[in-house]
Structure 1
């Protein structure tokens, strides 16, 4: 049942009295059960990677296990993943040395950038790890990568709606609508749509050709530093050009046929009643994109920084500024466990689906965490970020461990990102501020 409206009032004697917040006014996660089931078998066995981001940090006191190694005890929060204990690794102590903390965690989670690195510039980002992987696999899938979020578009610098950034730090717009995402992935284009798409590609190519032509003329008159800046810009232009060419190559390839039955495509991310349903359906669509090999790389921001909701519509951001208050920390832990319950269901779908000699979970790496640590007092530190890695056994990853590091002497999170890039087939020994790879 839909819960009682918070606007409900008592009417009598010509007056209206607002009701206090009652339990009946708070929607429950149980009301959002999905009937979607795994398909049983994937169409193509390939390495895959999805990066799932939750904002505002976690209640680190209930999140981080007290012991490390294979015999560690699950923390109160991680008990929500008890059914998958042997299929994920907890990583603690990692962080971004160049990050400044605060609510720009999503901007730097996969880039490790110092957003204030360029003198005179308010914002400077770098390419994200997922996009390096996407470029490696792009020619093999219809979509090089997918960007999902609870807000469409790119957002604002420092409060981005996306986790993905192209060459030069250009933010890639995210999709928040399950309906639009399903149509993009699986609904065939009509003849008119196809013609309009081809025209759009032709127009973009014409613009890019003009830009490249003018840039070559301009380049001759520039100083060496300006030439370098222009070359970085032209690299982005050439990446766009290649993206257009890849899209044209797929326009006559039929999309995978997927039934929308049991997909709650009308779910809304900012409707408290829909919150659990929206998280589930976006993960179900991610699962379907992987099953059909429509893409191999997904980033999914469950909520934008400085916002977010719990399963009952609780204000996640407000609770992250807990100041050490026990009551607020307790409520924050409830939200953390709610999020992990949705992650657990997604891992179930992957594990229940055959993929070659193993399961989809064996060949899919799921990175989950936040770009900040709300700490003991509600601060927003880029140190000791809450992180866990699930899946990927078939890619050589060992699980069932807590790998802990001293947060003040830690290897950077970039070491983990570089390791994931290599597991996805990227032949590189460097990324951002990485000092090497991490044994996982």
Structure 2
């Protein structure tokens, strides 16, 4: 809650995001992660718009070429240090240096920075979903927790994963207090009392008048809501339109991923959350794919060969992204769709599992960011002086009104984003 100017207080602070309170739908951000990279010869895109050509991995996205931004050549410098897998994943969304020797230290990830500065107006500031359990072991002197977590609330705190669809559903929709149900004044009265003791008599009068005016606005809004007079953007759903999933984790990985995709979309559609990460699998993953008729080898070992089965698994992962895009695009929000009002980052920890190549990463964006992102393009940064992932993150956070001077290892925005 912003304060009026006061003669007895210093003025300082940083630029804050503008929470959406008008007729425009809010902007949402999602990250879908697939570990172990992709088929070495089939991750590519060429051309622009509806004429864009896609490699075999990306064929499920054919209908969304004009809503896609394909980025080549980006990398995390810190991911080239240390070992493979863990050191290439634990800082994927932060660009932070990682501690070795089994110690846990990374950096706050872009999704959590946005959750803290942009997502706090929703019931769930950040929804962190996963389809494979966290691995607590150590691999080549680095904790495998790095391979299991892309979302970090702080340098020493990987954000807890929600593996079970039913519990994720409960977090979004279980009855309980909601931030927006609480009076703004009730939420800040303690802080206001502390402030009142440290300001001049004139400023105390100004503060009291200001708080009284806010209370009056709240009262008028409450009465307007009772009369049905409120205008502006409203979620297309007030309550979930799917049943609560069964307890436990589905045994079929296809069903598990699809449920998590449904929850991501439902969270956005009901405005229960605006920030979500969905980790489809771990890096160094042990998932098997009986649903695809590929049950003879775990994901990690499959990634070591550019085979037809590996391509089939890659396409299955990209199909989850296409499914999310299709569902969001079916939700109309004024002149745009929910996909137009979203940014979905799809990425992996390495380009190919066969070579563990992290000198350039597979990265694409889907959605229009509320008209702020020009899509239908392929951008190549391989020969550019700045090709840092953290530069991309600075550019993306700008679109949420979260403006930072530095993030991770970057102090400059990525060109043309």
Give the TM-score taking structure 2 as reference length. 0.70
Separation in structure 1 between the aligned mates of residue 135 and residue 406 of structure 2, nearest angstrom: 27
Separation in structure 1 between the aligned mates of residue 115 and residue 55 of structure 2, nearest angstrom: 34
From 312, 328, 349, the counterpart of 1:350: 328
Do structure 1's residue 131 and structure 2's residue 115 form an aligned pair?
no
Do structure 1's residue 79 and structure 2's residue 59 form an aligned pair?
yes
Aligned ranges for residues 165-314 of structure 1 at < 5 Å?
A: 165-189=152-176, 257-261=239-243, 265=246, 268=249, 271=251, 274-307=252-285, 308-310=287-289, 311-312=291-292, 313-314=294-295
Provide the residue aligned with 2:197 in structure 1: none
Do structure 1's residue 147 and structure 2's residue 147 form an aligned pair?
no
Provide the residue aligned with 1:369 in structure 2: 347
Do structure 1's residue 53 and structure 2's residue 27 form an aligned pair?
no
Provide the residue aligned with 2:231 in structure 1: none
Does the 8 Å contact 1:151/1:175 carry over to 2? no
Do structure 1's residue 433 and structure 2's residue 409 form an aligned pair?
yes
Separation in structure 2 between the aligned mates of residue 426 and residue 332 of structure 1, nearest angstrom: 39
Structure 1 residues 158 and 281 mapped into 2: Cα distance closer, same or farther (>3 Å)? same
Unaligned runs of 5+ in 2: 1-22, 138-142, 179-236
Provide the residue aligned with 2:85 in structure 1: 103
Secondary structure at the aligned position of 2:390 is classed as helix
Provide the residue aligned with 1:158 in structure 2: 144
Separation in structure 2 between the aligned mates of residue 336 and residue 410 of structure 1, nearest angstrom: 29
Provide the residue aligned with 1:237 in structure 2: none
Compute the displacement of 1:143 (Å): 1.2
Secondary structure at the aligned position of 2:90 is classed as helix
From 332, 335, 338, the counterpart of 1:360: 338
Separation in structure 2 between the aligned mates of residue 406 and residue 413 of structure 1, nearest angstrom: 12
Compute the displacement of 1:305 (Å): 1.4
Compute the displacement of 1:81 (Å): 0.7
Separation in structure 1 between the aligned mates of residue 255 and residue 371 of structure 2, nearest angstrom: 31
Separation in structure 1 between the aligned mates of residue 269 and residue 117 of structure 2, nearest angstrom: 19
Secondary structure at the aligned position of 1:147 is classed as strand
Does the 8 Å contact 2:70/2:377 carry over to 1? yes
Does the 8 Å contact 2:126/2:276 carry over to 1? yes
Structure 1 residues 380 and 342 mapped into 2: Cα distance closer, same or farther (>3 Å)? same
Coordinate RMSD, CA, aligned: 2.8
Aligned ranges for residues 321-360 of structure 1 at < 5 Å?
A: 321-322=304-305, 328-360=306-338
Structure 1 residues 69 and 421 mapped into 2: Cα distance closer, same or farther (>3 Å)? same
Structure 1 residues 407 and 276 mapped into 2: Cα distance closer, same or farther (>3 Å)? farther
Unaligned runs of 5+ in 1: 1-42, 195-254, 323-327
Alpha-carbon displacement from aligned partner over 1:120-153 (angstroms, at most 9, x marks no partner) = 8844211111111101124311111011112456
Aligned residues: 321
Separation in structure 2 between the aligned mates of residue 392 and residue 165 of structure 1, nearest angstrom: 26
Does the 8 Å contact 1:52/1:301 carry over to 2? yes
Alpha-carbon displacement from aligned partner over 1:179-218 (angstroms, at most 9, x marks no partner) = 111122112259xxx9xxxxxxxxxxxxxxxxxxxxxxxx
Separation in structure 2 between the aligned mates of residue 276 and residue 349 of structure 1, nearest angstrom: 17
Does the 8 Å contact 1:62/1:76 carry over to 2? yes
Alpha-carbon displacement from aligned partner over 1:407-432 (angstroms, at most 9, x marks no partner) = 79651111111111111220213211
Separation in structure 1 between the aligned mates of residue 37 and residue 48 of structure 2, nearest angstrom: 23
Provide the residue aligned with 1:316 in structure 2: 299
Compute the displacement of 1:159 (Å): 3.3
Alpha-carbon displacement from aligned partner over 1:304-352 (angstroms, at most 9, x marks no partner) = 1111344525422111122xxxxx4322111111111121111011000
Secondary structure at the aligned position of 1:331 is classed as helix
Does the 8 Å contact 1:365/1:391 carry over to 2? yes
Separation in structure 2 between the aligned mates of residue 153 and residue 319 of structure 1, nearest angstrom: 20
Does the 8 Å contact 1:77/1:336 carry over to 2? yes
Separation in structure 2 between the aligned mates of residue 267 and residue 75 of structure 1, nearest angstrom: 36
